[in-house]
Amino acid sequence: MAGPETAELARAAEAGGADVVEIGFPFSDPLADGPVVRRAAERALAQGMRTAECLQCLREVREAVKVPLVPMTYSSLLEAYGWERFAEDVRTAGASSLIVADLPVDVRPELRRVQLVAPTSTDERIALAADSTDGWLYLVTVAGITGARAELSPALAPLVERTRKLSKVPLYAGFGISTPEQAAAAGELADGVVVGSAALLAADDGAPSLERFVSQLRAALA
């Protein structure tokens, strides 16, 4: 999540072996996010992290790390800021791509972004998302909100199987992946994993804690 400590935390994630760093641009009503991400967003907003401040944070993180940076946010933020203006400013600030969690694939198709598909997505929507995604496809492993789960969703394997038949783009699985064991299991199916809530919890204990956690995930995926 964008904030005063984000550059330091991004360095820790990179040192731990992260291939990509996702940076949340906080929104007051994050429909796709569970309690951990919601609390992080509330904290960021309380610290004054509005869109301009988030873009400045992104610039600082870009200077601090070499891995790709992918902001994640919601369409209302872009609507308020201006769609074309946001797309230009976020790239200029150092973003490699963008995730807009609540923006359907067929809305604003001119906006380059990583597309999301879920177990409830039809083959038609998966194919459309794969054709228009920016680099890789985000597989939402559960039909619900973000957050740690006790076990890997059984819906991931059939979602990967369906998507592989429709596209050759890289597939990264996220939502509910919180332990090295779950990351390893997901990594056997998909090309990579996205870990959000569990990483935020580790970051609450400081950059060294986050680096250790990411290192454990990296080792599990080796």
Domain-embedded: residue 203:
no
Is residue 222 assigned to a domain?
no
Question: Do 71 and 126 lie in a common domain?
Answer: no
Kindly give the interhelix angle for 6-16 and 207-221, rounded to the nearest 10 degrees: 30
pLDDT of 144 reads 53
**5 and 85 both lie in a single domain:** yes
| 129 shares a domain with 74 | no
Strands (E), 82-128: 99-100, 116-117
Residues 88 and 9 in one domain: yes
- N-terminal to C-terminal alpha carbon distance within the chain: 27
Looking at 104, 127, 155, which one is the last position of a domain? 104
The answer to whether residues 150 and 79 belong to one domain is no
pLDDT of residue 27: 83
22 is catalytic: yes
Q: What total number of domains does the chain contain?
A: 2
Query: Rounded to whole angstroms, how far apart are CA atoms 26 and 36?
Result: 13
Cβ contact 180:17 at 8 Å: no
CA angle 44, 97, 52 (to 5 degrees): 35
pLDDT of residue 32: 60
Does residue 68 sit in the same domain as residue 16? yes
pLDDT along the chain (222 residues), means of 10: 97 98 88 81 94 98 98 95 98 98 95 96 97 97 59 91 97 93 96 95 97 98 92
- Among the listed residues 14, 29, 33, 88, the single catalytic one is 33
CATH number, domain of 46, equals 3.20.20.70
Question: H-helix or E-strand containing 173?
Answer: strand 171-174
Q: Give the number of other CB atoms < 10 A from CB of residue 138.
A: 23
Helix (H) / strand (E) containing 125: helix 123-132
Residue 212 included in any domain: no
At 153 the pLDDT is 86
Task: Quote helix, strand, coil % in the chain, to nearest 5.
Answer: 45, 10, 40
Write down the pLDDT at residue 116: 97
Residue 33 a catalytic site member: yes
Q: What is the domain range of residue 167?
A: 114-195
219 assigned to some structural domain: no
Please indicate, yes or no, whether the overall pTM of this predicted structure exceeds 0.75: yes
Report yes or no on 60 lying in a domain.
yes
Which of 8, 19, 22, 42 is labelled catalytic? 22
Q: Are residues 97 and 5 in the same domain?
A: yes
Interatomic CA distance for residues 191 and 164, integer angstroms: 11
